[in-house]
Copies of this chain bind each other. A is one copy, B any other.
């Protein structure tokens, strides 16, 4: 085989063992899509072109594309190609869609109500907790997310306190918890479970979300699994859907 010296392909140094090649290509293409190099409806380079460009073989390229499909960045069509979808899938449900305004034009802000701090897990936690998590406590965090200055989400996050160097000192001002875990700690979300209710807003939540009492509010409880065995984290979330719907691609 003729060895070509490209970005991903097998170079002489073998430090590539850390991160798989399909994952690296995934990150590159994902970045390109998020940066707008490929736009909605565009065709990605064909699999064979990607092979040639990055010095990989088709199974590897296809693996990367499969991940992009799974995460909702592209759709594939036989005989045609990989079509950029651009709507990030988020996790089951995550994004916000206004009735009139486009997503990009929204002024999104995240306010930290309780900075990441280590505390014991709550006694009657809303998901059954494995014992190995109970021992070392959890990283607790409360955030409020606002759109155009109006509060929309009230989000309580619980992470296992194991082996996340410098985590509590990080900033989570932008919606970057998932990105932070992915890029700084190589923790990928692989799935999870969620429960959803429509409830009447409680006085406390109403205060955070600036809602009138008795108004309906969306309540989500989520367990989020990762590729790191035993590392799951949790989120309890309240959302005012009077002006914006929760939007999800699956």
Contacts and interface: CB of A to CB of B under 8 A. Distances in A.
Given A216-B217, A229-B77, A191 B249 contact: yes
Interface residues of A, number: 38
A60 to B, nearest CB: 13
Interface stretch (A21-29, A106-114, A116-124, A192-200): A192-200
A247 interface: yes
A137 interface: no
Given A191-B72, A195-B245, A241-B197, A250 B216 contact: no
A211 B175 CA distance: 37
B198 A216 contact: yes
A193 B86 CA distance: 13
B247 A193 contact: yes
B193 A249 contact: yes
B199 A241 contact: yes
Interface stretch (A89-97, A141-149, A166-174): A89-97
Given A70-B70, A77-B229, A250-B250, A198 B195 contact: no
A91 B250 contact: yes
- Tallying the copies of this chain within the complex gives 2
Contacts of A225: 75
Interface string A54-95: 000001000000100010100101000000000100011100
Nearest to A190: B75
Interface centre among A87, A91, A200 (most CB of B within 10 A): A200
A62 B246 CA distance: 34
A248 interface: yes
A248 to B, nearest CB: 5
Contacts of A229: 77
Contacts of A97: 195
B245 A192 contact: no
A192 to B, nearest CB: 6
Contacts of A195: 97, 245-248
The 4 closest A-B CB pairs, nearest first, are A216-B216, A198-B198, A92-B250, A195-B245
21 contacts: A59-B59, A70-B70, A72-B191, A75-B190, A75-B191, A193-B247, A193-B248, A194-B250, A195-B245, A195-B247, A196-B218, A197-B246, A198-B198, A198-B217, A198-B219, A198-B239, A199-B216, A199-B241, A216-B217, A218-B218, A250-B250
